[in-house]
Amino acid sequence: MRAAWLLWSCAGLLMTAGPSGSPGAPWREHSEKSTLATGLPCIYQKDTSSPTTVVGLFAAGGKSAVPLGLDGLAYLTTRLTLEIPDEGMVQDLMSQATRLSLLCSEDFSAVLIECLSENLKEALRVAGKIIQDPLITGLRIGRTKEMMKLYGRSEEDESTAAAHNAVMKAIFPGAGYGTAVYGTEESLGGAIDRKDAVAFYRRFFTKKGLFFYVATDLDKGPVRALLEKYFAGFPDGEDVSIPLVYPALPAVRDIALTRDSKQTYVGRASLLPAPDAPGQAKGCLLETLLGKGPGSRLWGLRMTENAKSARASEALDRTLADLQDKGITDEELRTTKTMAKARLLRSAEAKASRLRTVGLYEVLGLGHGHLTGISEALDKVTLEDMNAFIRESLSPDRILRVTVGPKPAGATAR
């Protein structure tokens, strides 16, 4: 999100309740940004690691643009752009190993087109037709809502996702970032109708609200020509900027979600500064330091047999307090930088996963080139800077406490 970052201090801490050219990168060339003849910006990156092409069409807005009471509108609208009216067309795409999918994040939604590069022309022809003239009908909206209800239930059953959603709702109450990506019973039960989806589409699927990212083994010229040919129908549109909304810690810092489970998820969330390049690098280092693999500060807690969630919570708080008080050594910072770089490279190795990262950096204002610049940003973080960042980020007055699990004896269900 543009206003602030959220750090999970304990992702995956589960306790039983009862007995471009960056060195080592899989691509050799930096991404480059230009404007197509249609007026749409396009980020192009040559990647010959496989004979495949991934195209992402990013639309401004995402959850941040969802009005009060219309939870799920961004996802629903984006999903409707992938409705293929012809069954034969579906079979053709499947036989060509072409895949259409979507992302819906805090600040954007995106349609992904993944195919063999030899089938790019046909994939873009089909995708361009359905995305620019989506079937937003009552019948399809109803069917999509039913699918979203299933996705929402599945997400709520996953402790990490449920905890994250609860924290977002607490610090961004009401509209925008605090809304549920797959909607709520109220919004899917009747609050969202066809006019809402049409209005959302007309606002954000315009030349002012869209940009492409392409990772491919094909040369830039032919790819640009295909995008210009098959995606020429978007209108100019109006301003799509959304006022910044800043997070606010709630008066009650404890969030408890009751689940019919024998396990309890114990978590802490902290607000981080707005994500400029240095802040993003320090946030990445802190996340790696806390809980990304063997040797991280929380790794030992995973191995601890804390039979009671209260003990787990105390152990977690002690670990965070110790880190906040004492900081880290120069050797630990060097190790953390190495691990963070390796993790970032692995996460961006596949073209489709890299698409999401590049798109996020572009939307946040860090720029598409930050994917290759992040290594340099990590190197520039000094020990003094990092320890100051740790002291600020893990200050007790910035922390939210979260538990997901069975109801404690004598407690009121939520």
Distant-in-sequence, close-in-space partners of 322: CB < 8 Å, separation ≥ 6: none
Contact of 360 with 64, CB cutoff 8 Å: no
pLDDT of residue 67: 93
Query: Residue ranges of the alpha helices (H) in 55-137?
Result: 73-80, 87-95, 120-132
pLDDT of residue 21: 46
pLDDT of residue 292: 82
Contact of 359 with 296, CB cutoff 8 Å: no
E runs forming strands in 326-388: none
Q: Is 357 exposed, middle or buried (0-12, 13-18, 19+ CB in 10 A)?
A: middle
Q: Is the dihedral of CA 390, 396, 398, 402 positive or negative?
A: positive
What is the number of other CB atoms lying within 10 angstroms of the CB of residue 170? 19
Give the distance, in angstroms, between the CA of residue 42 and the centroid of all CA atoms in the same chain: 21
Contact of 57 with 248, CB cutoff 8 Å: no
DSSP reduced 3-state for 360: helix
CA distance 401 to 88: 51
Axis-axis angle for helices 370-379, 351-364 (nearest 10): 70
Going by the DSSP 8-state scheme, the letter that residue 192 receives in this structure is -
DSSP element (H, E) containing 318: helix 309-326
The string of DSSP letters for 224-267 reads HHHHHHHS-------------------S--EEEEE-S-SEEEEE
What are the tokens at 65? 């643009």
Distant-in-sequence, close-in-space partners of 249: CB < 8 Å, separation ≥ 6: 171, 271, 397, 398, 400
Q: What share of the chain is helix, strand, coil (3-state, %, to 5)?
A: 45, 15, 35
Nearest to 130 by CA among 81, 92, 75, 201: 81
What are the tokens at 228? 């210009």
CA distance 393 to 387: 10
Per the rule left: phi > 0, alpha: psi between -120 and 50, beta: everything else, 386 is alpha
pLDDT of residue 12: 34
E runs forming strands in 290-412: 399-405
Contact of 14 with 159, CB cutoff 8 Å: yes
- Please state the pTM of the whole predicted model: 0.88
pLDDT, tens digit only, all 414 positions of the chain: 433 345 544 333 333 333 344 444 545 678 899 999 999 999 999 999 999 999 999 999 899 999 999 999 999 999 999 988 887 778 878 888 899 999 999 999 999 999 999 999 999 999 999 999 999 999 999 999 999 999 999 998 899 999 999 999 999 987 799 999 999 999 999 899 999 999 999 999 999 999 999 999 999 999 999 999 999 999 999 988 888 888 889 999 999 999 887 788 889 999 887 778 888 899 999 999 998 877 788 887 765 554 577 888 888 999 999 999 999 999 999 999 999 999 888 888 899 999 988 998 898 888 888 888 888 899 999 999 999 999 999 999 999 999 998 876 555 444
- Phi, psi values for residue 222, rounded to 5°: -60, -35
Which domains does the chain possess?
A: 5-15+249-405 (3.30.830.10), 29-230 (3.30.830.10)
* Residue recorded with tokens 């997901």: 404
CA distance 177 to 173: 8
Radius of gyration for the chain, computed over Cα atoms and rounded to the nearest angstrom = 22
DSSP reduced 3-state for 221: helix
Which residues pair with residue 6 across a beta bridge? 271
What are the tokens at 380? 């520039």
